[in-house]
Amino acid sequence: MRWEYPVRVLAADGRVDKIVGPGDALAFLLKGWNCHKGPSYKIARKSCQGALRGHIGTALSRSHFITACIEVGVLE
């Protein structure tokens, strides 16, 4: 499952990761997220899980992921 356009984020070690879909985003949120886990993070996590299960659209999961990344300054 892929998004139409990937999202580039700054990883904790300084490299840039290209997130191509809700699966990558969820992995980043669960393993690579070294930031505040506030409401936007929780919404993004649930949204990506929902997209992977087919409960919500992938575009919405991308939007929620971007919002969480902007909030903590990891969007490239």
* pLDDT above 90 for 13: no
Mean pLDDT of all residues in 57-67: 98
For residue 12, name the pLDDT band (cuts at 50, 70, 90).
Answer: confident
Residue 41 has pLDDT above 90, yes or no: yes
SS3 of residue 1 by DSSP? coil
Q: How many CB atoms lie within 10 A of CB 43?
A: 16
Q: Quote the mean pLDDT of the chain.
A: 96
Residue 35 pLDDT > 90: no
